[in-house]
Amino acid sequence: MVAVLGAPVEMTAECVKTNLLGLTQAKLDEFFITLGEKRFRTQQIMKWIYHFGVSSIDEMSNVSKVLRERLKSCADIRGPEVVSTDFSGDGTCKWVVRVASGSCVETVYIPDGKRGTLCVSSQAGCVLDCSFCSTGKQGFNSDLTVAEIIGQVWLAAKSFNSVPAKSDRAITNVVMMGMGEPLLNFDNVIDAMNLMMDDFGYGLSKRRVTLSTSGVVPAMRRMIGLTDVSLAVSLHAPNDALRNQLVPLNKKYPLKTLLAAVHDYMSVLPDKRRVVTFEYVLLKGVNDQPEHAMQMIYLLKDVPCKINLIPFNQFFSSGYERPSNNAIRRFQVMLQQKGFNVTVRRTRGGDIDAACGQLVGQVQDRTRRSVRYRDQQQKGSEAELINVINMAS
């Protein structure tokens, strides 16, 4: 029997079970109210799922047997299915997980001393098609559910034996920088990030949960008041003409509009010491020249920020190359000399295709973009072969 709005209702065989993984405190409160239970059950169950990483209701030893049986009749705990796990020589780990749509997405863990960063996906594929990103070439299939997003953290924590929760846990930071544009899956991403920060979830500091966006301006403004996670913006070009080529979304939300939205979000955060991070993939001969550094200095001169330079990570038929170390260093020094805090991201997980921009998964593409790219690559290969034959004849 369950109580809905105070009235007892008989459970039926056709009852669709509720996945407890991914329910926020508010939604779990609602769930237990429908069962006629007190709200304290919410915190009790959340501790079992996130602090202890249980996957079975039977493992919840301080919950009465009667309630456990009632829960099993209408609820369960379902994380994403792990298809494969790969370990890099540098300690990076990549999981390929299958989601409900049938597509597979990738999650990457990067250890760095006492810091362990988990890079989480929000979509199967990506709509945006940034020209230098292999994920975009896979097309798009679906948004991930809250359970599929927070489930990546849940799986990783269990994999590293970080449950029960402890002070020296493996995952200290989470970044929404995996497959997909997080702000195009707004509600599910916000709920998942809030679970990451919830004391009865993973209890991560708002400084240690970062959302990375290519600049979906209306959604950036919508974030205000709903969350106060750290913000990272995929910049990649210091002027609109070049950014239109690299990040097509810029045609809809150009730099002036994007920076205004960044200012509005950052200005309402209670901690005024926090700054936005600008991510900038360096592409040889494209956006790595001294004039680009000077344009960037002018563009960001009034924006409290940190700049993260990311040397391009090669993937098949990308058409781009990684700049030389000298060019990367020159770009960094020019920015630093003007007072900017600039880091160069060290490439990690390249031997297992887990580096930034390399995540591809297995996307059942609804956009047919992946087919178009394969056709273009095939035509390019055929043209190159004809040229070689002509030169040899």
Full-model pTM: 0.86
Please say which residue of 76, 95, 110 terminates a domain: 76
- Give residue 35's domain range: 2-76
| Whether residue 187 is found in the same domain as residue 38 | no
> What is d(CA 204, CA 209) in angstroms, rounded to the nearest whole number?
7
Q: Which of 310, 311, 307 is nearest to 342 (CA)?
A: 307
**Any domain includes 213:** yes
pLDDT of residue 198: 96
**Any domain includes 381:** no
Q: Please name the amino acid found at residue 1.
A: M
pLDDT of residue 250: 97
Sign of CA dihedral 60, 66, 67, 71: positive
| Whether residue 85 is found in the same domain as residue 217 | yes
**Any domain includes 308:** yes
Query: How many C-beta atoms surround the C-beta of residue 343 within 10 A?
Result: 12
Residue 181, both tokens: 């544009």
Please, are residues 307 and 343 in contact by the beta-carbon 8 Å criterion? yes
Angle subtended by helix axes 325-336 and 290-299, to nearest 10: 30
Please say which residue of 41, 76, 111 terminates a domain: 76
Q: Residue 11, by phi and psi: left (phi above 0), alpha (psi -120 to 50) or beta?
A: beta
- In degrees and rounded to multiples of 5, residue 223 shows phi and psi of -65, -30
> What is d(CA 206, CA 211) in angstroms, rounded to the nearest whole number?
10
Residue 30, both tokens: 């609602």
**Any domain includes 17:** yes
Sign of CA dihedral 183, 186, 192, 195: positive
| Whether residue 205 is found in the same domain as residue 286 | yes
**Any domain includes 378:** no
> What is d(CA 236, CA 248) in angstroms, rounded to the nearest whole number?
12
Domain CATH for 63:
1.10.150.530
- Per DSSP, the three-state class of 265 is helix
| Whether residue 128 is found in the same domain as residue 105 | yes
pLDDT of residue 389: 34
> What is d(CA 367, CA 79) in angstroms, rounded to the nearest whole number?
27
| Whether residue 232 is found in the same domain as residue 146 | yes
**Any domain includes 384:** no
| Whether residue 33 is found in the same domain as residue 166 | no
Structural domains counted in the chain: 2
| Whether residue 199 is found in the same domain as residue 295 | yes
> What is d(CA 29, CA 21) in angstroms, rounded to the nearest whole number?
14
Residue pLDDT tens, the chain, 393 long: 443 333 344 444 445 899 999 999 999 999 999 999 998 999 999 999 999 999 999 999 999 999 999 999 999 999 999 999 988 888 899 999 999 999 999 999 999 888 999 999 999 988 888 888 877 677 888 999 999 999 999 999 998 876 666 667 789 999 999 999 999 999 999 999 999 999 999 999 999 999 999 999 999 999 999 999 999 999 999 999 999 999 999 999 999 999 999 999 999 998 889 999 999 999 999 999 999 999 999 999 999 999 999 999 877 667 899 999 999 999 999 999 999 999 998 765 555 555 554 455 555 656 565 555 555 554 443 343 334 334 443
| Whether residue 142 is found in the same domain as residue 44 | no
Please say which residue of 12, 43, 76 terminates a domain: 76
| Whether residue 19 is found in the same domain as residue 144 | no
| Whether residue 29 is found in the same domain as residue 121 | no
> What is d(CA 221, CA 180) in angstroms, rounded to the nearest whole number?
19
Token pair 């178009």: residue: 372
Domain CATH for 212:
3.20.20.70
| Whether residue 72 is found in the same domain as residue 111 | no
Give the active site residues.
Answer: 106, 356
**Any domain includes 234:** yes
Token pair 């250890």: residue: 111
Q: Which residues pair with 108 in a beta bridge?
A: 94, 119
| Whether residue 65 is found in the same domain as residue 101 | no
Q: Which of 277, 374, 332, 355 is nearest to 108 (CA)?
A: 355
pLDDT of residue 316: 65
**Any domain includes 388:** no
Please, are residues 238 and 229 in contact by the beta-carbon 8 Å criterion? no
Q: Which residues pair with 232 in a beta bridge?
A: 212, 277
> What is d(CA 227, CA 194) in angstroms, rounded to the nearest whole number?
7
